């Protein structure tokens, strides 16, 4: 995965969400209106591994967690083509619930 700012759209059977991620030198940081995303990545192009955890920063009950709990750790695998990263995996806390994400690189 190349260093830079990415928009992210993610999906589970429970719904969808979006946010931003900044990837730099093996670390990912980002979030959306209710959750921070903190983690790491390794690999380039055909073999990307990402481990990211969520942490709620906005207590507004109108922002529902996608997995039903505020803190999850996702383990994801995927690929990058041009400026698009496609990932899939699941949460350690809810194995078997598939998670898909598409990241689009916006800038360095």
Mind listing the domains of the chain with CATH numbers? 4-107 (2.40.128.380)
CA distance 89 to 100: 7
Please give the span between the terminal C-alpha atoms of the chain, in angstroms, as a whole number.
Answer: 12
pTM over 0.75: yes
Q: Encode pLDDT of 52-81 as tens digits.
A: 999 999 999 999 898 889 999 999 999 999
- pLDDT score for 26: 97
- Report which of 4, 3, 5, 11 is spatially closest to residue 76, judged by C-alpha positions: 11
CA distance 36 to 23: 14
CA distance 104 to 85: 6
């Amino acid at each position: 995965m190349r260093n830079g700012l990415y928009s992210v759209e993610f999906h589970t059977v429970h719904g969808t969400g979006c946010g931003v991620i900044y990837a730099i030198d093996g670390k990912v940081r980002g979030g959306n209106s209710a959750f921070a995303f903190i983690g790491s990545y390794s690999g380039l192009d055909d073999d990307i591994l990402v481990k990211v955890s969520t942490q709620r920063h906005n207590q507004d009950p109108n922002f529902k967690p996608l997995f039903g709990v505020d803190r999850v750790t996702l383990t994801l695998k995927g690929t990058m083509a041009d400026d698009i990263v496609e990932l899939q995996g699941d949460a350690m806390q809810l194995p078997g619930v598939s998670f898909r994400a598409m990241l689009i690189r916006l800038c360095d």
